[in-house]
């Protein structure tokens, strides 16, 4: 019999790619998603959808009663900016939603959760940042996600084994191009695709660790299949520093413009934004033998092809 997985957030960007990969590996997949930022068209045909809000009070009444082999938890509010605009919504979706899922795991005997954590749990740190760096998040989003890491840690004593993957800046096809408050690559690309000046919030000297979605999906799959990942926390990035200006140059080139040919405007800042961060990925390399395979230019090219295929280039 095939193994059974729940993918929360499976209508979203990363979750839908993960659902595809699990199905290709022979799993049965149930997607749990309230479609708030996700898109039903992202969900693979062979996956079942349970359209529920993971943070609603009676959530447990709508969940399957049997044990699953693993739950991949990616549903949630994922914008630092939105966490400042609506801290209550952020805490409800991210903290309460995770607690209810963990409680469901405990009740059904589902003893394996792979959790989409974030680099947002680190504050102003020296990069490359390793997993044992001090954690002092700058946003409510990062604060909630840190709380979740602690819930996961305590639920381990109640029988729910888990792995935390602290994702850095993930990019690729199916990023929500209409959401200009989440996803540095998709935000910048939305402007270029529409032929409008790129509005950059913050300095072009900022830097990030930009990792392609297929590489991230592989980290999720390995975390489930390799017992060495049990109860561990891993950074998932490339280990490379990419300045905002380098990302802009590469993006503009991939869309066929010469350097400096495409207009870029700098407007204000995003509250709680980390100035510069990139990952030390030695732990995930050493323990899970995971290395990123898709570089920035290749990934941006694939993303542009997806935009062309789905008629999203203006």
Ligand X SMILES: NC(=O)c1ccc[n+]([C@@H]2O[C@H](COP(=O)([O-])OP(=O)(O)OC[C@H]3O[C@@H](n4cnc5c(N)ncnc54)[C@H](O)[C@@H]3O)[C@@H](O)[C@H]2O)c1
Q: Tell me the two tokens of residue 309.
A: 């295929």
Tokens of 128: 């490359």
Q: Is 163 in the site for ligand X (CB under 6 A)?
A: no
**Sign of the CA dihedral 82, 84, 90, 92?**
negative
Stretch that binds ligand X, among 4-12, 20-28, 146-154, 299-307 (CB under 6 A): 4-12
Residue 32 is encoded by which pair of tokens? 């749990």
Calpha distance 209→296 (Å, rounded): 10
Pairing of strands 207-208, 242-243: antiparallel
Q: Report the residue from 98, 118, 235, 238 that binds ligand X according to the rule CB under 6 A.
A: 118
The maximal CA–CA distance of the chain, rounded, in angstroms, is 58
Kindly state the smallest distance separating residue 101's Cβ from ligand X, in Å.
10
Among 14, 21, 121, 198, binds ligand X (CB under 6 A): 14
Q: Which stretch binds ligand X (CB under 6 A): 5-13, 189-197, 266-274, 275-283?
A: 5-13
Q: Looking at 163-171, 239-247, 250-258, 260-268, which segment touches ligand X (CB under 6 A)?
A: 163-171
- Alpha-carbon gap, residue 136 to 33, rounded angstroms: 29
Tell me how far, at minimum, the Cβ of 120 lies from ligand X, in Å.
7
Residue given tokens 């694939």 in the structure block: 302
Q: Does 100 bind ligand X (CB under 6 A)?
A: no
DSSP 8-class letter at 163: E
**141 has catalytic annotation:** yes
Interaction of residue 281 with ligand X, rule CB under 6 A: no
Q: What stretch of H or E contains 169?
A: strand 169-171
- Of residues 231-270, those binding ligand X (CB under 6 A): none
108 binds ligand X (CB under 6 A): no
For position 83 contacting ligand X by CB under 6 A, the verdict is: no
User: Which of the stretches 28-36, 106-114, 189-197, 278-286 binds ligand X when contact is defined by CB under 6 A?
Assistant: 28-36
What lies within 8 Å, CB to CB, of 283 at 6+ separation is: 130, 131, 232, 234, 235
CB of 76 to ligand X, least distance (A): 4
Task: Exactly one of 141, 155, 191, 207 is catalytic; name it.
Answer: 141
Rounded to an integer, what distance in angstroms lies between the CA atom of residue 230 and that of residue 45? 30
- Active site members: 141
State the residues that interact with ligand X by CB under 6 A.
9, 11-15, 33-38, 53-55, 74-78, 93, 97, 116, 118, 167, 169-170, 176, 183
């Amino acid at each position: 019999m095939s193994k059974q997985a729940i993918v929360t957030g499976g209508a979203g960007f990363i979750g839908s790619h993960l659902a595809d990969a699990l199905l290709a590996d022979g799993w049965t997949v149930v997607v749990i998603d309230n479609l708030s930022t996700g898109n039903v068209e992202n969900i693979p045909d062979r996956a079942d959808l349970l359209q529920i809000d993971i943070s609603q009070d009676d959530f447990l009444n709508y969940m399957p009663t049997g044990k699953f082999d693993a739950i991949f938890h990616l549903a949630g509010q994922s914008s630092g900016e939105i966490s400042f605009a609506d801290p209550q919504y952020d805490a409800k979706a991210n903290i309460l939603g995770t607690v209810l899922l963990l409680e469901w795991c405990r009740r059904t005997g589902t003893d394996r959760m792979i959790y989409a954590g974030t680099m947002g749990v680190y504050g102003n740190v020296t990069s490359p940042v390793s997993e044992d760096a001090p954690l002092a998040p700058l946003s409510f989003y990062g604060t909630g996600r840190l709380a979740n890491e602690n819930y996961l840690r305590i639920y381990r004593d109640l029988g729910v084994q888990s792995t935390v993957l602290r994702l850095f800046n993930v990019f690729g096809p199916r990023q929500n191009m209409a959401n200009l408050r989440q996803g540095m690559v998709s935000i910048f690309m939305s402007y270029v695709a529409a032929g409008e000046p790129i509005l950059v919030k913050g300095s072009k000297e900022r830097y990030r660790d930009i990792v392609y979605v297929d590489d991230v999906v592989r980290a999720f799959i390995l975390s489930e299949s390799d017992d060495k990942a049990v109860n561990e926390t891993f950074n998932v990035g490339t280990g490379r520093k990419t300045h905002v200006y380098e990302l802009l140059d590469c993006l503009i080139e991939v869309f066929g413009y010469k350097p400096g040919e495409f207009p870029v405007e700098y407007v204000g800042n995003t509250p709680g934004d980390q100035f510069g961060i990139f990952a030390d990925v030695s732990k995930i390399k050493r323990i899970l033998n995971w290395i990123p395979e898709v570089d920035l230019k290749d990934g941006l090219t694939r993303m542009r092809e997806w935009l062309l295929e789905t008629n999203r280039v203006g």
